[in-house]
Structure 1
């Protein structure tokens, strides 16, 4: 199994664009309030900074504004899903993990 590696910003933009079709698809297999992907977005690669990005996105709803705090050079792609019953709650999964869990070929 290939180890996930960080993208440059240019690579992240290309990959993010390539997977925009996932928006609206099922994120979690079991039916929950978080079942549908709301956004496919470029985010920081670091786990703590990913959480900061997700929190920012939850508050502003714009992936570009949510990423403004980040000054690093290592990026990833995140799939975000907001709760249907409580708009103040959100879950996220890395694109690479989602593709692996759903047996989708990685086209990078």
Structure 2
């Protein structure tokens, strides 16, 4: 039996902190992989992280992450009950951005598409 969650499990809905950390466990292998957008490389996945669920707090989370480079520490400010799992991407021009986990497609899928 495979206990690892599918990449796309629970991502469309709000997660509890426990659910988000459980989903994160099955996705750490994505770190270091190239992230493609629009057929070209946007950058590398620097970190797969539990983040706030809403867009404004995700934006704050990314800024806190940029300061400390620690996803757990960057999440300390957040106390609302809804979470998500995101990809933190270091772009080819050395900026940080994020994308939803379900937007990740392994490189071989990019080459075939």
- TM-score under structure 1 length normalisation: 0.78
SS in 2 for 1:10: helix
Q: CA deviation at 1:20?
A: 0.4
In the alignment, what sits opposite 2:90?
A: 82
Could you tell me which runs of 5 or more consecutive residues in structure 2 were left unpaired when the two chains were aligned: 1-9
Structure 1's consecutive aligned runs of 4 or more residues displaced over 4 angstroms after TM superposition are none
The number of equivalent residue pairs is 96
Confirm or deny that 1:95 pairs with 2:107.
no
The verdict on how the C-alpha distance between 1:21 and 1:40 changes in structure 2, with shifts beyond 3 A counting, is same
Confirm or deny that 1:65 pairs with 2:62.
no
The verdict on how the C-alpha distance between 1:3 and 1:22 changes in structure 2, with shifts beyond 3 A counting, is closer
Give the counterpart of 1:25 among 33, 48, 58: 33
Confirm or deny that 1:42 pairs with 2:50.
yes
SS in 1 for 2:99: strand
Give the counterpart of 2:24 among 16, 22, 37: 16
- Name which one, 1 or 2, has greater alpha-carbon Rg: 2
The verdict on how the C-alpha distance between 1:27 and 1:8 changes in structure 2, with shifts beyond 3 A counting, is same
CA distance in 1, matches of 2:51, 2:89: 15
Could you tell me which runs of 5 or more consecutive residues in structure 1 were left unpaired when the two chains were aligned: 104-108
In the alignment, what sits opposite 2:6?
A: none
